[in-house]
Amino acid sequence: MRELFDTKTDTNEVKRQLSFIEEGRRIVSELADQAGRKLTACVVTFGCQMNARDSEKLSGILEHMGYVLTDNEEADFVIYNTCTVRDNANQKVYGKLGTLNAYKKHNKLMKIALCGCMTQEEVVIDKIQKSYPFVDLVFGTHNLYAFPELFVQMMQRDLMIVDVWESTTKIVEDLPIVRKYPFKSGVNIMFGCDKFCTYCIVPYVRGRERSREPEEIVCEIEKLVADGVKEVMLLGQNVNSYGKNLPSKTTFPELLRMIEKIEGLERIRFMTPYPSDFGDDMIECMRNSKKICKHIHLPLQSGSSRILKRMNRRYTKEEFLELALKLRKELPDVALTTDIIVGFPGETYEDIKETLDVIEKVQFDNAFTFIYSKRTGTPAASMPDQVAEADIKVWFDEVLSLVQECAKKRTALLKDQIADVLVEGINDHDASLVTGRMSNNTLVHFPADASMIGQIVKVKLETCKGFYYLGNLVNG
């Protein structure tokens, strides 16, 4: 059978784009000479870990072209890497674009680009063209790798360039990258989603599911480890569907075992598994692993079988509970977190009670609770019985408070334990403390200095502060 998608990096495309980076470098250097200063670029990320990883790719390319990266949006090049999973993310981008326009009026060199999931929607493109003509470049999720080429075109023309593809068969992964953290990194193992949950826009904006070859993933992680990375987060919308389009049909647990063997790598995380695809082979794999972190993010979405069916989730309340309780029993020290949507069309308080019941029974270690957001083009958007905002608000608060109560209880259970903690940085509020992450994803703050950043150290969990701990280093 012919493969519909490439599973390996297209090395010719990589070479092409590298040559555009060189071209971009010449253009940026000329402009910098004229301006008598270095040019700055700011990449702003909205949304999920996939976008964060894509932003690292954009930053890498911009840095290679000679820009100095900054967090300040008053830069010479600003790119918004957008998210469209919920409408509030879109609204935020439109609001911020207005501010960028004001900056642009004072800086002739300034260029503005938009990319990411939002730009995959036709309505968005129309709106940008009509109401935000000062945007210089718009591209999508499928041609992110062609950014160097589009950048050069943008610099040579005065008109807005819009280049958004409906899909791609290509994987182009070896372009320069600037990692936000030297010690941890996301790694794309697959792209797209085939599940078509009726509320979700991801399958429309990220395209069909396609996996990368395991050897290429292992090779990428080996290089990251050689460069100082201790923890990787394997990224995919549906990681336990990994490998279905590969000639070798490598499964996700098989991939995990290959990655486990990489010397020097200390921690493996993954995001996100789909409940009904989480089989016993995964449980076995996690039980036998020394490196897979003790955290599973398992999106519930709703505890009502009736709503789950309307959401096109492929499990019932009972099946989810059976899996979650099995995970609790077989992997007792693994934290279970989830996503919950409140206010899906047709939902009633009876359905919310079912959701509350699942939260109560599973005692999630944490949960992201979202108000349903109507996404144009998804089946749920045209369902007749959209729920009144006032009801949603009350239900949301009830779900959130139970979630928080459970999270606090679960966190409190860890008191006085000694945990391995990867130190991620200086504490945001108190410079005498550092902040680190336990294997189960709980944050711990403790006295230490910047020299510890990137190390895995033992910390005694002394004071539980609700969702996080204050602790102290354990010597020896």
Number of residues lying near ligand SF4 (CB under 6 A): 10
- Asked if 313 and 351 count as a contact pair (C-beta separation under 8 A), the reply is no
In the complex, minimum distance from the CB of residue 199 to ligand 5AD, in angstroms, rounded to a whole number: 4
Q: Which is nearer to ligand 5AD, 49 or 427 (CB)?
A: 49
> Nearest approach, Cβ of 310 to ligand 5AD (angstroms)?
13
Q: Which of these, 57, 50, 445, lies nearest to 233 by C-alpha position? A: 50
Among 51, 82, 188, 237, contact with ligand SF4 (rule: CB under 6 A): 237
Q: What is the largest CA-CA distance in the chain?
A: 67
200 binds ligand 5AD (CB under 6 A): yes
| Residues between 167 and 186 that touch ligand 5AD (CB under 6 A) | none
Residue 48 interacting with ligand SF4 (CB under 6 A): no
DSSP, residue by residue, 378-417: SGGGG-S-PPPHHHHHHHHHHHHHHHHHHHHHHHHTTTT-
Please report how close the Cβ of residue 398 comes to ligand 5AD at its closest, in angstroms.
17
Window 245 to 304, contacts with ligand 5AD (CB under 6 A): 299, 301
Beta bridge partners of residue 297, listed in sequence order: 337
Q: Which of 17, 119, 188, 238 binds ligand SF4 (CB under 6 A)?
A: 238
Site for ligand 5AD in 351-380 (CB under 6 A): 370, 372-373, 375
Q: Which is nearer to ligand SF4, 276 or 363 (CB)?
A: 276
Closest CA to 65 of 80, 54, 76, 74: 76
Instruction: CB nearer to ligand 5AD: give 147 or 278.
Output: 278
Nearer to ligand 5AD, 372 or 396 (CB): 372
- Out of 11, 98, 123, 196, which residue is the one contacting ligand SF4 (CB under 6 A)? 196
Instruction: Work out the burial of residue 167: count CB atoms within 10 Å of its CB; fewer than 13 is exposed, 13-18 middle, 19 or more buried.
Output: middle
373 binds, among ligand SF4, ligand 5AD, none (CB under 5 to 8 A by kind): ligand 5AD
At a CB cut-off of 8 Å and minimum separation 6, what does 215 contact? Answer: none
Q: Which residue type sits at 54?
A: D
Residue type at 390 in one-letter notation: A
Q: Supply the DSSP string of 214-259, one letter for each residue.
A: HHHHHHHHHHHHHTT--EEEEE-TTGGGTTTTSTT---HHHHHHHH
With residue 210 as reference, give the H or E element that holds it: strand 210-211
Rounded Cα gap, residues 308 and 304, in angstroms: 6
Using CB under 6 A as the binding rule, the residues of this chain from 374 to 433 that contact ligand 5AD are 375
Cβ closest to ligand SF4, residue 48 vs residue 423: 48
Q: Using the minimum distance from each CB to ligand 5AD, give the nearer residue, 205 or 457.
A: 205
The least distance separating ligand SF4 from the CB of residue 196, rounded to whole angstroms, comes to: 6
Query: Choosing among ligand 5AD, ligand SF4, none, which partner's interface includes residue 193 (Cβ < 5 to 8 Å by kind)?
Result: ligand SF4
196 binds, among ligand 5AD, ligand SF4, none (CB under 5 to 8 A by kind): ligand SF4
Pick 115 or 200: Cβ nearer ligand SF4: 200
Q: Note whether 193 binds ligand SF4 by CB under 6 A.
A: yes
Q: Which does 86 bind (CB under 5 to 8 A by kind): ligand 5AD, ligand SF4, none?
A: ligand 5AD
Which partner, ligand 5AD, ligand SF4, none, binds residue 238 by CB below 5 to 8 Å per kind? ligand SF4
Cis peptide leading into residue 9 (ω within 30°) = no
Cβ proximity to ligand 5AD: between 81 and 373 the closer is 373
Task: Report the first-to-last Cα separation within the chain, whole angstroms.
Answer: 57
Handedness of CA 442, 443, 446, 449 (dihedral sign): positive
Q: Which residues of 272-287 are buried (b: 16+ CB within 10 A; e: fewer)?
A: bbbbebbeeebbebbe
For residues 447 and 449, what is the distance between their CA atoms, to the nearest angstrom?
7
Is residue 341 close enough to count as binding ligand 5AD by CB under 6 A? yes
Residue 370 binding result from ligand 5AD, ligand SF4, none, given CB thresholds of 5 to 8 Å by partner type: ligand 5AD
3 state DSSP class of 81? strand
Task: Report the distance separating Cα 123 and Cα 144, nearest Å.
Answer: 20
Do the Cβ atoms of 295 and 334 come closer than 8 Å?
yes
Minimum CB distance to ligand SF4, residue 123 (Å)? 19
Q: Cβ atoms within 10 A of the Cβ of 401, count?
A: 11
Nearer to ligand SF4, 197 or 323 (CB): 197
Binding site for ligand SF4 (CB under 6 A): 193, 195-197, 200, 202-203, 237-238, 274
Binding site for ligand 5AD (CB under 6 A): 85-86, 199-200, 299, 301, 339, 341, 370, 372-373, 375
